[in-house]
Amino acid sequence: MTLQGKTIVVTGASSGIGSEVARLARFHGARVIGMDRNDPMVSLDGFVRVDMADPASIDRAAGELPQKIDALVNCAGVSGLADRDVVARVNYLGLRHLTESLVGALKGGAVVNVASILGYDWPQRLDAHKALAATESFAQGADWLAANPVPQETCYQYFKEALIVWTKKRGYELFMQHDIRMNAVAPGPVMTPILGEFVQMLGEERVAADAANIKRPAIPDEIAPPVIFLCSDAARWVAGISLPVDGGIDALYT
C-alpha cells in the first residue's frame, strides 16, 4: 500500500487521530496539508488554519488548498461537553461544508470521515438523519436543527449517527457521479487529549460498564492505518461504508 505522489488534506491534524493520520500518510509517501485551529505538532507539507464551526472560515481555507486533492480526511471534532450548537457545526455541518466545497478538487479521490462507535444507533433515527442530510447548505442545516433541536446530553452521539448516514447516502452519489469514494471509520475509545471529556460526557457508570467488556482504549496509531487504507488505491472499490475500528465493541453490541 502506498500513497506516493498523492496530496492528502487532514482536518484536526494538530492532535489525536488527525495528527497520527498525517504522520502515517507522510510515511507512506503522501504530501500532507493539515487544517486545524491550533498550530500543528507534527511535520506537514502545508498547513491552513481553519475554524470548522464557521462556514466563512471554511470557505477561506478551502480557497488556500490545491486544485487537485487525492484524499480528504475529516478528523476535526469536539466532544459532547461543548455546546450542542458547536458540536453540530464542527462535527457535522462544517465537515459537510468543507467536503462539498472540495468535490471538484477530489474527483477520482477519497474522503474518510471519523465517526464513532457511539453512532451505532443511527437506524433508530434514520428518517431524521435523512432529512438533515437532504438540506443543501450549512445555513439550511442549521435552520433544520433549530426547528428540530437535539438534546445537549446526546448531541455527540446524534451527530455521529448523522455523519454515518450522510456518509452512506452522499457517498453513493459521490461515487456514482464524481468517482469519489467516501467512507467513515467508527472508533471506540481512543487515548487522545479529549478522552477524559468523553468519560465526563458518558458518566463514570457507563464507562466502567463498557471498560469491563473491552480490552482497553485504542491508541491513535491503531486507528490511522485503516484510514490510510481507505485513502489508498487498494480501497478503490470501497464506497459508502462505516468501518468499526473499535477492538470488537461493535461485535459486542450486535
- In Å, the largest CA–CA distance within the chain is 48
Crossing angle for the helix pair 126-133 and 155-178, nearest 10 degrees? 60
Which residue is listed with cell 491552513?
48
Query: Of 49, 48, 82, which is closest to residue 65 (Cα–Cα)?
Result: 48
Whether the Cβ atoms of residue 214 and residue 250 lie closer than 8 Å to each other: no
Half-sphere exposure (Cβ direction) of 32: Cα atoms closer than 13 Å: 29
Q: Which of 120, 156, 172, 253 is catalytic?
A: 156
Q: Examine the residue annotation and report whether 156 is marked as an active-site residue of this protein.
A: yes
Dihedral sign for Cα atoms in the order 54, 159, 68, 178: negative
Query: Of 23, 13, 24, 21, which is closest to residue 52 (Cα–Cα)?
Result: 13
Active site residues: 156
